Amino acid sequence: MTLPNWNSKDYHVEFPDIVIENGTPITEVPLPRKVGYVLEYLLGKVLPDAQKATANKYELAGLFVALATVDYLAGYYVGRETTGGDYKDFMRRYFPDKYHDFLEPIYQQLRCGLLHNLVALNPWKGDNQIDFRLEGLPLPHLEAAGGSVVFSIPIFLEDTRRAFIMYQYELIMRPGENEQLIANFETRFNRLSGKASTMAYNPD
């Protein structure tokens, strides 16, 4: 575990009951409800699918979903189409400190190299890259082992889940400190009249 003392109770959110009248556009519902839609999508559908895939030995599928989830969240974080810097900034703020020395290779080799080229070395970035050893077990994560660096897919999935929980806590429970963060979230959520905020699908 990269955050052994992390406690979800520290990120419990509370807000008054929300009553939404029939016909209210999704872009006009209160912020906690919008965040709730994203939560239900990510924690109720997307990440559980990735965890099931990983548990059933389809580790790459789980990793692809986790890497895309970080991009999805970075879009809310900055309120626009993301850059590599946005991806790394989101991780820097919400992922454990252990990731900080690996942000560039995670972005260049896994987010770009693996997603676009199906290998954990980006073929367009030269020889000076980290030899990631992708693991489907919760082994020591981002640790050197035999000339490579272990990248535990189950731990990365868990850290992605926790990153969202911390992010949504700041949106809902600390609005006075995070006005720009909220404005960015609203901008991203409201794109295309909210139709691009989440997606309905039946994973069965």
Tens-digit pLDDT profile for residues 81-102: 999 999 999 999 999 999 999 9
- What is the crossing angle of helices 84-94 and 59-78, to 10°? 100
- Dihedral sign, Cα of residue 123, residue 129, residue 133, residue 139: negative
C-alpha dist (Å) from residue 200 to 33, 71, 74, 115, 143: 17, 19, 21, 23, 38
* Residue bearing the bigger pLDDT, 131 or 8: 131
Where does the pLDDT of residue 1 fall: very low under 50, low under 70, confident under 90, or very high at 90 and above? Answer: low
| Average pLDDT for the chain | 92
Three-state secondary structure readout of 24-84: CCHHHCCHHHHHHHHHHHHHHHHHHHHHHHHHCCCHHHHHHHHHHHHHHHHHHHHCCCCCH
Task: Say yes or no to pLDDT of 131 above 70.
Answer: yes
Following DSSP, what letter does each residue of 121-153 receive, concatenated?
Answer: S-TTS-S----EEEESS-PPTTEEETTEEEEEH
In this prediction, residue 203 carries a pLDDT of 59
Question: Which whole number is the average pLDDT over 59-75?
Answer: 96
In a domain, 17, yes or no: no
pTM of the model: 0.92
In this prediction, residue 105 carries a pLDDT of 95
In a domain, 25, yes or no: no
In a domain, 114, yes or no: yes
Closest CA to 44 of 52, 172, 13: 52
Tens-digit pLDDT profile for residues 99-116: 999 999 999 999 999 999
In a domain, 24, yes or no: no
In this prediction, residue 9 carries a pLDDT of 83
In a domain, 111, yes or no: yes
In a domain, 23, yes or no: no
- Dihedral sign, Cα of residue 13, residue 15, residue 20, residue 26: negative
Percentage of the residues of the chain whose pLDDT score is greater than 90: 76
In this prediction, residue 190 carries a pLDDT of 96
In this prediction, residue 3 carries a pLDDT of 74
In a domain, 20, yes or no: no
When divided into structural domains, the chain yields a total of: 1
Tens-digit pLDDT profile for residues 6-63: 888 888 888 777 778 888 888 999 999 999 999 999 999 999 999 999 999 999 999 9
Percentage of the residues of the chain whose pLDDT score is greater than 70: 98
The number of helices, as runs of H, and strands, as runs of E, in the chain is 8, 3
Strand 143-145 to strand 148-152: parallel, antiparallel, or no bridges (unpaired)? antiparallel
- What is the crossing angle of helices 153-173 and 84-94, to 10°? 80
Give the domain range for residue 163.
Answer: 30-194
